[in-house]
Chain A
């Protein structure tokens, strides 16, 4: 560059200094950025891809497959996110996002800013909703493709679609919220762990212990299923249940666990929130301990025995 070029032209005008914006505007701006980054994160995308493959695989939609199409209802009810699907990878992706300031030694940039660590944690928690929305889109697409608007199961999409009118599945809309809510729960737990430790191996072990069947402890702890139960038992049970009350209580239970995890993450910045954590966990335990309602089955299946 020549000496003449070194002398810079008149610099563009600096911004006019204004009053600081409201906190909610900052929170929302951060949430949007974090949510968009989460949707583009390769680990999250891997999880969604695995969920989509699991959805197709477990319902016999690929040339090689595992089970018959009667697994469709439970897959749409959230099992596609449980079996090495979206939940585990959402947890990891969110953990990596929340801990990036400490892992990259960039904390000095953050500490010198007016935005507090608590606000950043709140934004991270809210950004997990983007994962839930992505899950909802996947479930919606899966429902349209595998069930259709008339509720009849599609038995062969690859060569069809061939619709079996004798297997008409009554889609319970509330059921379809379980999977996305489970993704939100996974992300919230990722924020919780990331608030307390930056070590990647802690997250990796947490993913194994909390989310990976058949050793996943999260369903076991929350829903009193024994270790070795390969799936998110309550979701699977709810998929067989026709009544809306048990599904609603399931959703409420999931939401309560997520709320407890979120509050525990915020408790890192405010110890008074520990009380709220205990309250939310109590709600979750009470709600999930309620007995299931009357059961409905797919046509042609024998009615399940009442325990």
Chain B
């Protein structure tokens, strides 16, 4: 069985607006990060890959299945774990009841085996102690972990995680990184995030979406390298920079065309991303 996602000129149009405007990518085993500004089409793309949204154009094959066929689409869903960006919950359900319900929808019909699996995934995300608590009494971060838990049910081959680390405290974000790293062995894991340091820590590959197109496809190091010799530090703000901000040490970090004699520093993924897809992006030719 194929272990990839294959997209060819994938499109999604709403009215006159192409939210996803022709994305062609192959995604294989490992952790792939999806970055992009707000409105770039990340969530729309994730929803198409999670089979909850039908594309309006192009072709999409997941794990060797053609999603235009209902039977094959169902087969993909049997091997899919999806964590939505803004999950809605049945607030009067307990944590266990909700994950158990999703487990039934995942066709786990044996009660004992299903409950065992529900307990397993809840332990995985550190919610074992609150399994009996009603979801409306949980914090936002804990609800995110409930959403993650249901995505892990059945040990899926494909994980589509839309902003999984938002609303998590620092400790939980570390645990999340650990979990994703383990899951990336032998699985296709696609993570959409705004956290560039999560991408740097987790992903073997990064895709940057901008205006519905894939503006970059490479490794995190390659994304950082886009900003090589274009990041410098100064004591005062330099108006010639495309972007600048004050650091915690009280100095100014700049991204753009450095002046002569500027003190260059090593670029980060964030610098490369900002040059590519930030508000003053000048990197269209860099994405080629």
Contacts and interface: CB of A to CB of B under 8 A. Distances in A.
A15 B117 contact: yes
Contact of B47 (A25, A33, A108): A108
B279 interface: no
A305 interface: no
Contacts, number: 96
B211 interface: no
B269 to A, nearest CB: 24
Nearest to A112: B82
Contact of B175 (A8, A114, A120): A8
A111 interface: yes
A12 B123 CA distance: 9
Most buried by A among B50, B75, B100, B104: B104
B74 A114 contact: yes
A114 B104 contact: no
A104 B91 contact: yes
A3 to B, nearest CB: 9
A44 to B, nearest CB: 14
A196 interface: no
Interface string A6-34: 11100110110100110001101110010
Give the secondary structure class of B's interface.
helix
B90 A100 contact: yes
B84 interface: yes
A15 B154 contact: yes
A194 to B, nearest CB: 15
A1 B90 contact: no
A20 B52 contact: no
Given A20-B107, A28-B109, A33-B101, A112 B80 contact: yes
Interface in B114-128: 116-117, 120, 123-124
A7 B177 CA distance: 11
A110 interface: yes
Nearest to A15: B117
Contacts of A30: 104-105
**Chain B interface extent, by class:** 35 or more
Interface size class of A (residues with CB under 8 A): 20 to 34
Nearest to B152: A14
Contacts of A6: 171, 174-175, 178
B120 A12 contact: yes
A111 B104 contact: no
Contact of B90 (A33, A104, A108): A104
A199 B175 CA distance: 40
Interface in B131-187: 147, 150, 154-155, 171, 174-175, 178, 182
Contacts of B182: 11
Contacts of A17: 154-155
Contacts of B171: 1, 6
B113 to A, nearest CB: 7
B89 interface: yes
A114 B91 CA distance: 23
A14 B182 CA distance: 13
B109 A108 contact: no
Report the 10 A-B pairs with minimum CB-CB distance, sorted nearest first: A105-B88, A14-B155, A111-B52, A113-B105, A112-B82, A106-B88, A108-B84, A25-B109, A114-B77, A115-B105
6 contacts: A1-B171, A12-B123, A33-B100, A33-B104, A108-B82, A115-B104
Given A11-B120, A26-B109, 14 more contacts: A7-B178, A12-B120, A15-B113, A15-B117, A17-B154, A28-B109, A29-B104, A107-B88, A108-B52, A109-B105, A112-B77, A112-B80, A114-B105, A115-B105
